[in-house]
Chain A
Amino acid sequence: MSTERTAWTFVTPALIVIGGFFAVPVLAAFVLSLTDFDLYALADLRNLRFVGFGNYLDVLRAPLFWKSLLNTLYFVGVGVPLSIGASLGAALLLNSPLARAKGFFRTALFAPVVTTVVAVAVIWKYLFHTRYGLINWTLGQFGIAPIDWLGDPHYAMPAIIIFAVWKNFGYNMIILLAGLQGIPQDLYEAARIDGASTWHQFRHITLPSLRPVLVLVGVITMAGYFQLFAEPYVMTLGNPLQSTYSVLYYMYEEGFMWWSLGRASAIAFLLFALMLVATRVLLRVARRSGEPT
């Protein structure tokens, strides 16, 4: 048997799965987004009509879409920097030569990453309870009045962001820790001989050396945070006053509650487009701020 033939026998099974259950569905989703596929079409395909970009126009005219979009941007805009900040802080602590029992702390801080998002969201729902929650009780010890975390439209999204930071920061912490360990020690030694303070060393050695890793981590985290769904599904059902209703939640309800599958596909593509633009912007900003001034 020739190598060429073998190679194809080795890759074809995987290609069929990825093609049939991902690539074709993605193309089909685009076609679907140009039709009025709904419950009637589900029953009988003859009810299907081509509507051009009608679904996109409808969605862009729906106030709920803009609400979900703003909520998602809020979650991404605040959640991503906070998550990466927490990851960097934890990585710096773990990387310090003064730290003891590093293995234990690394595992402890990473543990939330491997947990099931639904299960830990259920925990946090009770932690955020207005009367009996541990969080309000702790705040009460400092004289802060109870906050209606998941019932007040101003606090529901911050609550979900706090939860997301707790759940996810460990992942980037590991990547940033590897980045920190890759910075040559003699850079710091030279700086110390020159009398640079710890802050100066961080600002002029650590941060610039970490730049590529930070950009990578930023892109990955942002893509993940745009796909906000399970957290509001479990903790708030998108409420109060739809303040935690995300774009994916909107897609899910349009598609699988109202069975407007054409419309839901259009929402999915709008989210995809938004993610591409946001990634492009992030990379451009990173490149520009990286240029020497």
Chain B
Amino acid sequence: MNQRIAKVLVNGGLIGVSAIVLMPMLWMLSVSFMQPGEASTYPPPLLPAHATWTNYHELFERAGMGRYLANSLAVATAITLLSLAFNLSAGYAFAKLRFAGRDRLFQTLLGALLIPAQVAMIPLFLLMKWLHLVNSYGGVVVPGLAGVFGIYLVRQYAQSIPDELLEAARIDGAGEWRIFTRIVLPLLKPIVVTLAIFTFLASWNDFMWPLIVLSDQAWQTAPVALAGLSREHVQDNELMMAGSVVTILPVLALFLVLQRHYMQGLLLGSVKG
């Protein structure tokens, strides 16, 4: 009876909403292959009349997008690998090793999550200037080496490791470092993947801090450079869409491949209350 109408409504709704949500990205892709100036006509064309790589050529040959993407890749990879090392060891210690003041220290760290990052940015800039890290990869990477959220995520996950397992290894005479690398890390593998993709995407997409600390074009990451380009090339619709495509594509692809891990981290991270 009503079941059939409801089915049409639900699935029709999903198709409609998805179409609206995906449309901007499909349009971006389509316009990036149009001839310069083609998108600025009325009615707005949906598909290129003659698909061309012109905009991509222009983007890499003249606008130097290759360099910016390489900067982004270097910065995001460095932050991901290094912060994994810092956050994994700290998260494990907070979950499984006893030390004086542990729980109070962890509570203090959680409290720091309330403070928006921007409060620290101005002194951080002065600090980076003093360390001669302004306009270098280090200026972006160093403040991202460890994070409360990452430590929290690892701690949540590491708590499920049975204490008996670690005790048994200790009785067998294994050193703490050996226990960490041989027993704990393999058990933490799922959260390592989750944290890695979270960190990589966040660093790749980050904007405000890189904008502040990388004023020299040579060091700029893709989003910072893209924001600058969009101010210079207001009329070059097609070129800018090509720029958006190459900025978004790496993270979107990574997400699609590791989707399951990403969603898991999202849920694990939000159930703190």
Interface residues of A (CB under 8 A from B): 1, 3-4, 6-8, 10-11, 13-15, 17-18, 21-26, 28-29, 32, 89-90, 93-94, 96, 98-101, 105, 107-112, 114-120, 122-127, 131-134, 137, 166, 170-171, 174-175, 178, 212, 216-217, 220, 223, 226-227, 229-230, 233-234, 248, 251-252, 255-256, 261, 264-265, 268-269, 271-272, 275-276
Q: Chain B residue with minimal CB distance to A268?
A: B119
- When C-beta atoms are compared, the residue in chain A nearest to B8 turns out to be A98
Interface residues of B in 204-228 (CB under 8 A from A): 204-205, 207-208, 211-212, 222-224, 226-227
Question: Which 8 pairs of residues, A with B, have the shortest CB-CB distance?
Answer: A14-B90, A10-B93, A28-B123, A25-B120, A7-B97, A14-B146, A7-B99, A17-B146
- In Å, the complex CA distance between A230 and B14 comes to 29
Query: A14-B86, A22-B143 known; A118 and B227 CB under 8 Å?
Result: yes
B19-27, B51-59, B188-196: which lies at the interface: B19-27
User: Is B186 positioned at the interface, with any CB of A under 8 Å from its CB?
Assistant: no
Across the interface, which residues of B come within 8 angstroms of A248, CB to CB?
118, 208
- Contacting residues, chain B, for A112 (C-beta < 8 A): 21, 25
Cβ proximity bits B33-68 to A, threshold 8 Å, 1 near / 0 not:
000000111111000000000000000000000000
Interface string of B84-107 (1 = CB under 8 A from A): 011101101110011110100100
A109 to B100, CA, bound (A): 46
B230 within 8 A of A: yes
Query: Given A8-B99, A18-B112, A25-B124 in contact, is the A230-B176 Cβ separation under 8 Å?
Result: no
**Contact assessment for B226 and A119 in the assembled complex, using a CB-CB cutoff below 8 Å:** yes
Known pairs A120-B244, A126-B240, A252-B208; A10 contacts B97 (CB<8 A): yes
Which residues of B are in contact with A by a Cβ distance under 8 Å? 3, 6-7, 10-11, 13-14, 17-18, 21-25, 27-28, 31, 39-44, 85-87, 89-90, 92-94, 97-100, 102, 105, 109, 112, 114-127, 142-143, 145-148, 151, 175-177, 180, 201, 204-205, 207-208, 211-212, 222-224, 226-227, 230, 237, 240-241, 243-244, 247-248, 251-252, 255-256, 259, 262-263, 266-267, 270, 273
Contact of B255 among A25, A114, A174, A276 (CB under 8 A): A114
Task: Pick the residue among B17, B43, B176 that contacts A93 (CB under 8 A).
Answer: B17
Chain A, residue nearest B147 (CB): A18
Interchain residue pairs with CB less than 8 A apart (26): A4-B99, A6-B97, A7-B102, A11-B94, A13-B85, A22-B115, A26-B123, A32-B123, A93-B10, A98-B7, A119-B244, A122-B241, A123-B24, A132-B44, A137-B42, A166-B21, A170-B21, A223-B116, A233-B227, A252-B212, A256-B212, A261-B122, A261-B126, A265-B119, A272-B115, A276-B114
B243/A122 in contact, CB under 8 A: yes
A223 / chain B contacts, CB cutoff of 8 Å: 116
B223 adjacent to A7 (CB under 8 Å) = no
Q: Which of B22, B93, B211, B247 contacts A116 (CB 8 A)?
A: B247
Q: Please name the residue on chain B nearest to A248 by beta carbon.
A: B118
Smallest CB-CB separation from A124: which chain B residue? B24
B211 partner residues in chain A, CB cutoff 8 A: 233
User: Could you say which of A99, A126, A132 has the most chain B C-beta atoms within 10 Å of its C-beta?
Assistant: A126
* Cα–Cα, bound, A85→B201 (Å): 26
Instruction: Establish whether residues A131 and B42, one from each chain, have CB atoms under 8 Å apart when the complex forms.
Output: yes
Q: Is the CB of A10 within 8 A of B92?
A: yes
Q: In the bound complex, how far is the Cα of B6 from the Cα of A98, in angstroms? A: 8
CB distance from A231 to the nearest CB of B (A): 10
- Known contacts A114-B252, A268-B118; is-contact A123 B244 (Cβ 8 Å): yes
Instruction: Evaluate contact between A269 and B146: CB separation under 8 angstroms.
Output: no
A111 engages B21 (CB within 8 Å): yes
| Neighbouring B residues of A23 by C-beta, 8 Å | 112
Q: How far is the CA of A114 from the CA of B148 in the complex (A)?
A: 21
What CA separation (Å) do A256 and B128 show in the bound complex? 14
Return chain A residues, CB-CB under 8 Å to B10.
93, 96, 98-99
How far, in angstroms, from A28 to B124 measured CA to CA in the complex? 9
Question: Which residues in A have their C-beta under 8 angstroms from that of B127?
Answer: 21, 25
Q: How far is the CA of A229 from the CA of B40 in the complex (A)?
A: 28
On chain B, the residues within 8 Å of A230 by CB distance are: 207-208, 227
Residue in A100, A118, A131 whose Cβ sees the most chain B Cβ within 10 Å: A118
For the complex with contacts A3-B176, A116-B205, 10 further pairs of A-B residues with Cβ separation under 8 Å are A10-B97, A17-B86, A17-B142, A23-B112, A111-B21, A114-B255, A116-B222, A116-B226, A212-B273, A216-B273
A7 contact from B39, B98, B267, Cβ within 8 A: B98
- Least CB distance from B135 to A in Å reads 13
Contacts known (A119-B244, A132-B41, A175-B266); A11 close to B22, Cβ less than 8 A: no
Known: A6-B97, A18-B109, A109-B18. A126 touches B122 (CB 8 A): no
